[in-house]
Structures are given as structure tokens and as C-alpha cells.
């Protein structure tokens, strides 16, 4: 049965995913107030939330500070919470593992404890990731939710901990936590994703502001989904999915990183020379990420709306506009 919500709270609302989720709720979910937690002195809030700033309520809050999280929970009393806030750069997590581990795990623990202390009982969507599966055995592809979790990066370890904390708090305290494991997506607002990095560099080269495109491993295979579809899926998950369960969410088009780069080169208005940058190679990579989303589809009836080519065009045009406007 479809669940109605009056007050939604998004952690990391100014981030690349949270801002798209807030836009989706504002545009498509009339009657639901949108509240959000921002990092102290967020540098992305002004740009990512510009179109909806007057329609949402935000709170500066450090998720590593229990008291500030508790105050927000007590003040807002949300009936649905989307926990998206995290340090999410996989490559950077190899250089700063302690920061990523402590932030992502403690922030999630503080959130759950603040919810309990505030004596509220919301539906909670816990944003997990396909990275928890790590380097899968080909026999486990497409990847189902029952596949073993074998994280290959400190970031992935932190997400496994979040994922298991969600299950623990469901079992131990009856909290209504739904774990969603999102596979790769097109997200123009997140520069560290390979697709976004490539599109941005193409736009820079087209305008003469960069000479060549640099990249890491091109052999990895990803199944891509548009961020706008991904955020709609998060909303749908809270309406229909069962607390305590984990659900894979992903697109329908699988492509190697190299094939995607070739596609952008063909779409470019000028030649795009490229080379590998050793600094972009991960010490341990995850090269095969193809999801089985049957469980989520059966539970919700949800399907992606955006075609692959449409998502690629949206991504490239986003960065052409930004570069043309002087944004580097």
C-alpha cells in the first residue's frame, strides 16, 4: 500500500543527489514539506538548491554532532527520512580512509540514535551502494541482493557498515529502515563520477580551456541510470518497499568506461585527445557492476523514464552551459 508523507527530511540535501531528490519531491509530490540538513557552511547549497531555495527549509547541522542532529529531529519530526549524506568519493577514500570511515559510520549511528531519542517513528531510506558488493564473481552477475558483500575500498567498507547498521537497528529497535543499493548513475552535479568528469573535460576542450582529457581505468563495466530516475526511485522505495529489506536500484544500459568515453568523443564538437592519469587509478578497482533489480521492480512497479542517449545529452549539455558561463 502506498504510504503518504507530510514532512520529508533529506540529509545532504545540498549534495549532488540530495538536491535532485529535493527537486523531485517539490515538483511531483504535492502536500509534502521538504526539509534538509546541510553541512556547516556548505559550498554547494547556493548552486544546487538555487531553483528551489524558497520552497524548502534547511538546517545547518553536523551529523557527527549528536546534539545538533537530535535538535533537528525534535524540531522537524519528519515522517520520512532520506539518508544521503556521506563522503562518497571512492578514489579519495584510499588517500583519507580514516576520515571517510569515521564520518560515514558515525554520522549514520548518530542519525539513528537521534531518531530514537526524539521518539519519532519515520520511514528511513538508507542510501547504500553497489560498491558494497565489491569485485563480484562473474557467476554472481547480474548481482542480486543476496550476493556477498566484499568491499574493495575504504568508502565501500563505510557503506557496508551503514548498510549493516540499518539492518541492526531494524532488528533491534524496530526502526523502519529500507536499504537501497544504487548502481552507477549519470549525475551532472557530482564531478568525481567518471561520466561527469569526462563530460566536463570534453566541454573544457571544446572551448580551448583544456588540451587533453585524463582518465583512469577504462575497462570497468557499469550499468547506468539517470540521476533523476534514481532519485524518483528513492521516493518510490519509501512508499512501497518493506523495512528491513535491501533493494538494488539501477538502469538498463551496461557500458564500459572506455565505450562511454568513445561515445562522448563522437558527440564532441572538436577532437578529444586523451591519456591515462596514474593518479586516477584505484589501488583496487571494481570492474563489473551489473544489477538484478527484479526485487525492487516487483515491489514497486517502478521503471526508469529517461533513455540512455537522453541522459548522455543532458550530462554533456549541462557542462557545456556551465563552462560557457565561466564555471571551471
- Position 172 scores a pLDDT of 98
> What is the pLDDT at residue 247?
98
In a domain, 1, yes or no: no
Is the residue at 86 inside a domain?
A: yes
Decide if pLDDT at 1 tops 90: no
Q: Are 156 and 267 in a shared domain?
A: no
pLDDT(227) > 90: yes
**Chain centre to alpha carbon of residue 239:** 19
Domain range enclosing 79? 7-186+226-250+295-305
| 199 and 55 together in one domain | no
Is the confidence at residue 238, as pLDDT, over 70?
yes
Task: With respect to residue 2, please indicate whether it lies within any of the assigned structural domains.
Answer: no
Mean pLDDT of all residues in the chain? 96
Question: Do residues 60 and 175 share a domain?
Answer: yes
Q: Are residues 165 and 215 in the same domain?
A: no
Residue 59 lies in a domain: yes
Which CATH number do you get for residue 266? 3.90.25.10
Return the HEC string of 53-100: HHHCEEEECCCCCHHHHHHHHHHHCCCEEEECCCCCCHHHHHHCHHHH
Tell me: the pLDDT tens digits for 43-76?
666 789 999 999 999 999 999 999 999 999 999 9
Number of domains in the chain: 2
Q: Over the stretch 170-193, which tens digit does the pLDDT of each residue have?
A: 999 999 999 999 999 999 999 999
- What value does the mean pLDDT take over residues 304-324? 96
82 and 99 part of one domain:
yes
Amino acid at each position: 500500500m502506498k504510504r503518504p508523507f507530510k514532512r520529508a527530511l533529506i540529509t545532504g540535501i545540498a549534495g549532488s543527489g540530495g538536491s535532485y531528490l529535493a527537486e523531485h519531491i517539490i515538483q511531483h509530490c504535492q502536500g509534502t514539506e521538504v526539509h534538509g540538513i546541510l553541512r556547516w557552511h556548505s559550498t554547494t547549497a547556493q548552486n544546487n538548491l538555487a531553483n528551489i531555495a524558497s520552497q524548502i527549509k534547511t538546517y545547518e547541522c553536523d551529523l557527527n554532532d549528536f546534539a545538533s542532529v537530535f535538535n533537528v529531529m525534535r524540531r522537524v519530526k519528519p515522517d520520512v527520512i532520506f539518508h544521503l549524506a556521506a563522503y562518497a568519493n571512492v578514489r579519495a577514500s584510499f588517500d583519507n580512509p580514516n576520515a571517510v570511515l569515521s564520518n560515514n559510520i558515525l554520522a549514520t549511528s548518530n542519525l539513528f540514535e537521534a531518531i530514537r531519542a526524539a521518539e519519532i517513528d519515520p520511514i528511513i531510506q538508507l542510501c547504500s551502494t553497489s560498491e558494497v558488493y565489491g569485485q563480484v564473481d562473474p557467476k554472481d552477475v547480474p548481482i542480486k541482493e543476496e550476493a556477498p558483500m566484499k568491499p574493495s575500498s575504504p568508502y565501500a567498507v563505510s557503506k557496508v557498515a551503514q548498510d549493516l547498521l540499518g539492518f541492526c537497528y531494524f532488528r533491534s529497535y524496530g526502526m523502519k529502515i529500507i536499504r537501497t543499493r544504487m548502481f552507477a548513475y549519470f549525475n551532472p552535479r557530482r564531478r568525481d563520477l567518471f561520466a561527469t568528469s569526462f563530460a566536463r573535460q570534453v566541454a573544457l576542450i571544446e572551448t580551448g580551456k583544456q588540451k587533453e582529457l585524463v582518465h583512469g581505468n577504462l575497462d570497468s563495466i557499469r550499468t547506468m541510470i539517470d540521476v533523476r530516475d534514481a532519485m524518483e526511485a528513492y521516493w518510490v522505495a519509501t512508499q512501497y518497499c518493506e523495512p528491513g529489506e535491501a533493494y538494488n536500484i539501477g538502469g538498463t544500459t551496461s557500458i564500459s568506461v572506455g565505450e562511454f568515453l568513445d561515445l562522448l568523443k563522437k558527440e564532441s564538437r572538436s577532437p578529444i585527445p586523451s591519456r591515462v592519469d596514474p593518479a586516477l587509478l584505484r589501488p583496487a578497482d571494481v570492474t563489473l557492476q551489473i544489477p538484478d533489480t527484479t526485487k525492487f521492480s516487483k515491489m514497486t512497479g517502478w521503471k526508469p523514464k529517461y533513455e540512455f542517449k537522453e541522459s548522455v545529452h543532458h550530462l554533456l549539455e549541462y557542462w557545456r552551459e556551465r563552462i560557457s558561463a565561466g564555471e571551471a
